[in-house]
Structure 1
Amino acid sequence: MLRSLFKLGIIGALAMQLFSCAPAKSFYVLTPEGPPPSGGGMGVGVGPISLAGYLDRANLVYQESGNRMAVAESHRWAGDLEENIARVTATNLGRRLGTGNVRVYPWGSDGEIRYQVSIDIRQLHGTSNGEAVLDAAWRVYSLPDRRMITSKSWSGSEPMKKDGYDEMAAAQSRLLGQLAGEIAATLK
C-alpha cells in the first residue's frame, strides 16, 4: 500500500513538472482602424463570413514556404475568427461610409439595412517573407429583395514592421482596413 502511494506521488510530481514546462499561450485579436461613427446613416449588414478550411481553427497560421503551412501552437485567436473579422469589417465600413448603422450577421430584421456584404476569406496568414496576406471575395446584396448587386475579389499583402505574431495580427488588421475601403467604394 505504501509502495503504491509512493508511485502515485512520483507520477503526480512528474505530471506537474511536465505541465509546468508547457509554453504559455498568447491570444490575439484583429483591430479596426478606429472607433465606428455614432448615429444613423445608411444601413449595412456584414456577414456571413466564411473562412478557408486551413483558417478554421483557434491558432494563428503562417506560410513557412511554398505550399507548406505551419500552425502556431502557442499563439491563438482570442475568440471566433469569423466573428472578429465581421466586427472589424463592420467598424471599418462604418468609418469609410460615415454611418453608425452597421450590423453584424445575424441581425434581427432587414428593415433598417440597405445592403448586405458577405465575405469569403480565402487566405489570411503571415509569410516567411515578413508579410501578411489577405485574399477575399465579397458579394453585396440589396435588401430586402436580396438581389446581388456586385461580386468582386481582392488580394493584398502588408509588410510586417517587425517580427512576431502581434505584428502579424496588426498587419492582418491593416489588410482588413484596405478590404473595407474596396467594399465601401462599391457602396458609394
Structure 2
Amino acid sequence: MTVLRLPLILLLAGVFGLAGCSVHQPVSLYQLDSGSPAQPAQSAGMAVLLGPVSIADYLQRETLLQRQPDGSLQASTDGRWAGSLSSDINQLLLRQVAGHLDSQRVVLAPATLGFTPDVQVLLSITRLDSGESQPAILDAQWRLIDRRGQVRDNRIVHLQEPHASGTAAQVQAQGILLQRLAEQLSVALKPLANQPPVAEVPRKPAPKPAAPVEPEKPKIPMASPIRTDMEVFRF
C-alpha cells in the first residue's frame, strides 16, 4: 500500500504546484503615456469645456484587448489597464490641449457653476486598440460648439501608429495616437479664441395693462327755450 500511495502523492503535488504557478503568474499593469505636455501659464487664456467624451463600450473595462489578424479581439494574458481607461483618456487630452493652447481654463465636463466656455468640445472615441501584428488605430469624431451654441467644426479622425511587438509598445503607440488627436483638436480650437462677445438682446418693456373701459353714460338732451309769437302783457 505504501508503494502505491507514493506515486499518487507525487502526482497530486505536481498538479497543485502547476496550479499554484498559474494562479500567481504576474500580470503587468499599464497606463497611457501622456507625453510631456507644456505647462500652461496663462490664467486668462481660452476657456474650453472638454466633453462629454464618450468612449466605445468595449473599451470601458480593465482588460487590455488585443486585435487579432481576423479583426477579432482577445483579452491579453500578460497585462491589463491600471484603473479606468476612460479616466486616463480624459486626463491625457486635458493636459495636452491645455498645453497646446497655453491656457489654464481648459476643464472637463461637467463644468462648475459660473464657468462660461468660449468653446465646448463634444468628442466620441469609437476605436482605440492594437495587436501583436496589428498597428495601433484610433477612430474619433469631434464637434466644436461656440458660445452662441452654433457648430463651428465637425471632423472625423482616423489615426494609425506602428509599433514594435509587445504589450508595452502597443500601449505606448496608443498614447501617441491620443497625443496626436489632442494636437489636431488644439489647431481647430485656436481660431475660435477671439470670438466677439455675445450682445445682449434688449428686453422689450412689458406692455401696460389696458385701462378698463367705462360704460358710456346716457346722454340727457339739453332743455332749450321754446319761443312763440305770443306776447305777455303786464298790467
The normalised TM-score by structure 2 is 0.66
Unaligned stretches of 5+ in structure 2?
1-14, 191-235
Runs of 4+ in structure 1 displaced over 6 angstroms? 14-17
Question: Counterpart in 2 of 1:38?
Answer: 41
Shift of the 142–19 alpha-carbon distance from structure 1 to 2, 3 Å rule, reads farther
How far does residue 39 in structure 1 lie from its aligned partner after superposition?
A: 3.5
CA RMSD in angstroms, aligned pairs only:
2.4
The one-letter amino acid of 2:33's match is: T
Aligned mates of 1:156, 1:20 — CA distance in 2: 40
How far does residue 15 in structure 1 lie from its aligned partner after superposition?
A: 7.6
* Secondary structure of residue in 1 paired with 2:68: strand
Q: Is structure 2 residue 83 aligned with structure 1 residue 82? A: no
The one-letter amino acid of 1:158's match is: E
Bigger share in strand: 1
Shift of the 151–95 alpha-carbon distance from structure 1 to 2, 3 Å rule, reads same
Question: Counterpart in 2 of 1:10?
Answer: none
How far does residue 110 in structure 1 lie from its aligned partner after superposition?
A: 5.6
Shift of the 86–110 alpha-carbon distance from structure 1 to 2, 3 Å rule, reads farther
Q: Is structure 2 residue 29 aligned with structure 1 residue 27? A: yes
Does the aligned pair in 1 maintain the 2:68–2:134 contact within 8 Å? no
Post-superposition CA distance 1:89-108 (Å, at most 9, x none) = 11111122221221122331
Shift of the 110–75 alpha-carbon distance from structure 1 to 2, 3 Å rule, reads farther
How far does residue 69 in structure 1 lie from its aligned partner after superposition?
A: 1.4
Question: Counterpart in 1 of 2:71?
Answer: 67
Question: Which of 158, 162, 166 is equivalent to 1:159?
Answer: 162
Question: Counterpart in 2 of 1:92?
Answer: 96
Question: Counterpart in 1 of 2:153?
Answer: 150
Aligned mates of 1:88, 1:98 — CA distance in 2: 15
Aligned mates of 1:118, 1:79 — CA distance in 2: 24
Total equivalences in the alignment? 174
Question: Counterpart in 2 of 1:49?
Answer: 53
Aligned mates of 2:54, 2:127 — CA distance in 1: 11
Post-superposition CA distance 1:72-122 (Å, at most 9, x none) = 144221221111111101111112222122112233136242222122111
* Secondary structure of residue in 2 paired with 1:124: strand
Shift of the 159–15 alpha-carbon distance from structure 1 to 2, 3 Å rule, reads same
* Secondary structure of residue in 2 paired with 1:127: coil
Q: Is structure 2 residue 107 aligned with structure 1 residue 106? A: no
Aligned mates of 1:164, 1:106 — CA distance in 2: 37
Shift of the 167–110 alpha-carbon distance from structure 1 to 2, 3 Å rule, reads farther
Question: Counterpart in 2 of 1:6?
Answer: none
Unaligned stretches of 5+ in structure 1?
1-13
Shift of the 130–68 alpha-carbon distance from structure 1 to 2, 3 Å rule, reads closer
Bigger share in helix: 1
Aligned mates of 1:92, 1:53 — CA distance in 2: 24
Question: Counterpart in 2 of 1:170?
Answer: 172
Shift of the 75–114 alpha-carbon distance from structure 1 to 2, 3 Å rule, reads same
How far does residue 154 in structure 1 lie from its aligned partner after superposition?
A: 0.4
